[in-house]
Amino acid sequence: MKLPIEGMMSTVITGLVLTAIFALIANVVNGGWWIDLILVLVIWLIMFGLLRKPTPPKS
Amino acid sequence: MDSAILFAAVVRWVHILAGITWIGLLYYFNFVQATAFAASPQDAKSRQINFVTLVPRALLFFRWSALITFLFGLTLLLSYGNPGNIIRGYNVSSEGLTILIGALLGTLMMLNVWGIIWPNQKRMIAANQAQLDGGQAPPEYGKWARRAFLASRTNTMFSIPMLFFMVAAPHIPAFAH
């Protein structure tokens, strides 16, 4: 499966979607800032999971 | 001018200057260099020469600007609530909390640079130099390249919300209340 961060445009789109989600959570949910901080850490940890098995993408 | 105000202004200016250098080079690597290297019809040797001449210079500015951005940002964060700092404090104000999201993203990005991207790129530069000197590419080369690529792309993805939250705090009314 190809990751969203494999492509240039899909990386930008993923970044924009993340921005919208984080901004919405921070504004709408009570204590949303802390949820955002946890989400950021979770995404970073997912990246480490990907790095442990750095299989090249199928061409 | 009050020395505390001058100090905060200079720290903020250096933080932004180094940050622009860092993110500018991050976008250069991801949007310009990666596609240019892949698309250029040059032979393997030309690519290796580029890798040992161009890449180390770009990475020098890249990694040190990342560290300077982080250290000056940390100084600003620690001075929240002090005279001269426009942010009232992350524990007492929504703008402080908003910037804190950007600060966490930026911190993780800096850790990616120094902990993953630079160590793997350093190995790749050495491998390219060894190939230019007549050696063979090590079997781990693909693994190093993949790790550096994924961490770099994660940073590119993180940079978008990071810049939004850094700027949103003082400039977007919905966040600065």
Average pLDDT over residues A5-27: 93
pLDDT at B69 over 70: yes
In chain B, which residues have their Cβ closer than 8 Å to the Cβ of A27?
Answer: 174-175
Average pLDDT over residues A22-36: 88
In chain B, which residues have their Cβ closer than 8 Å to the Cβ of A54?
Answer: 143, 146-147, 150
pLDDT of amino acid B173: 72
Res. A59 pLDDT band, cuts 50 70 90? very low
pLDDT at A6 over 70: yes
CB atoms A5 and B157 under 8 Å: yes
- Min mean pLDDT across A23-27, B41-45, B73-77, B136-140 is at B41-45
pLDDT of amino acid B177: 53
Chain A touched by B176 (CB under 8 Å) = no
Q: Which helix (H) or strand (E) holds A40?
A: helix A32-52
Chain A touched by B171 (CB under 8 Å) = no
**Would you say A50 and B157 are in contact if contact means Cβ atoms under 8 Å apart?**
no
How far off is chain B from A36, nearest CA to CA, in Å? 7
Listed residue (B139, B131, B130, B140) closest to B43, CA to CA? B131
| Cα distance between residue A24 and residue A18, in whole Å | 10
pLDDT of amino acid B88: 65
Q: Domain map of chain B by residue range?
A: 3-171
In B115-144, the residues whose Cβ lies within 8 Å of chain A are 116, 142-143
Is the ipTM beyond the 0.85 threshold?
yes
Chain B touched by A46 (CB under 8 Å) = no
More confident residue, B118 or B6: B118
Q: Domain map of chain A by residue range?
A: 8-52
CB atoms A47 and B97 under 8 Å: no
Write b or e for each residue in A34-49: b if 16 or more Cβ atoms lie within 10 A of its Cβ, otherwise e.
eebbebbeebbeebee
pLDDT of amino acid A56: 57
Chain B touched by A23 (CB under 8 Å) = yes
- Min mean pLDDT across B76-80, B102-106, B127-131 is at B76-80
**Would you say B162 and A18 are in contact if contact means Cβ atoms under 8 Å apart?**
no
Q: Can you give the pTM of this predicted structure?
A: 0.89
